[in-house]
Amino acid sequence: MNDHSSIPATELQPYTAEWYSRIRDGIGEIACKELGIYVIPDSFCLSVVIPIYNEFNTLLDLVNQVKSVPIRKELILVDDGSTDGTRDLLDDVEQMADAMNSFQVILHDQNQGKGSAVRTGFAHVTGNVVIIQDADLEYDPKEYPRLIRPLIEQKADVVYGSRFLGDYPHRVLYFWHYLGNRFLTTLSNCFTNLNLTDMETCYKVFTRETIEEILPKLRQNRFGIEPEITAKIARRRKRIYEMSISYSGRSYDDGKKIGWRDGISALWCILRYGLAD
């Protein structure tokens, strides 16, 4: 074993046993727990499923943010029929692979919807844990270590990142979107008997075993995938944690895609999958 005793903790690979030991010796175990400082096994790999549709302006920035998270990862980018030049960037993205980050790029011939892209990504994961990451910069990849910790410590099978817990910063946008989100979450909870605060969140994190169990049952092609996934993991009595996250929402001028029709579809999916698998 290499002797790292003379190397400053700031120069060690984050989340390794040596890094954790050095910091714990300095600030104590309780402080480490509060700050989210812990050990990620050397064999661990995080699968990041990124559904993409017309995100030319944000894709490369997002990929660089994901790459910078000091965890071994595979990035699975599913382009869902983009027409704005996004596909021209994907060749460049594949060249960004390194020792900590591998890439898979999958192309849909035509636009089918976020749910379809997510299902395609799920079918290609090989990592221990799987997270969904939108390509629009609304969610911050720096929060991955916090979100995956309950799964690494085998306390949870699924973690939801909630925009409505804690005191993380949020961009102030649409009241009716907020109200609709809370209504859909509450209605979903009535059918699933969960007490989630944010069912529609992008940041859903799963063990690979959970993905392998629910993937054959997933059917939704658009944003109905959110309540469908929630209903299916609840029906299987998965251990679910919810953790606060930050959120920098987009306006429609910025390229936000979800609309009122998706809300109606989500309502139908809550009723449909709440009553039967």
Q: Mean pLDDT throughout 59-88?
A: 97
**Could you tell me the domains of the chain?**
1-39 (no CATH), 43-275 (3.90.550.10)
Q: What is the pLDDT of residue 94?
A: 87
Residue 2 binned pLDDT confidence (cut-offs 50, 70, 90): low
pLDDT at 3 over 80: no
Report pLDDT digits (tens) over 138-186: 999 999 999 999 999 999 999 999 999 877 766 666 677 788 889 999 9
Please give the residue that has the higher pLDDT: either 277 or 231: 231
Residues 18 and 45 sit within 8 Å (Cβ to Cβ): no
Residue 52 binned pLDDT confidence (cut-offs 50, 70, 90): very high
3-state secondary structure of 220: coil
Report pLDDT digits (tens) over 19-45: 999 999 999 999 999 999 999 999 999
pLDDT at 257 over 80: no
Q: Output the six-digit token pair for 11.
A: 């120069």
Residues 105 and 94 sit within 8 Å (Cβ to Cβ): yes
Strand positions, DSSP E, the chain: 46-52, 73-80, 101-108, 129-132, 158-162, 204-207, 240-244
Q: What is the pLDDT of residue 255?
A: 55
Distance in angstroms (rounded) separating the CA atoms of residues 267 and 270: 5
pLDDT at 251 over 90: no
Q: What percent of the chain has pLDDT over 90?
A: 79
**Order of all β-strands in the sheet with 204-207:** 101-108, 73-80, 46-52, 129-132, 204-207, 158-162, 240-244
> pTM (2 decimals)?
0.91
Residues 241 and 150 sit within 8 Å (Cβ to Cβ): yes
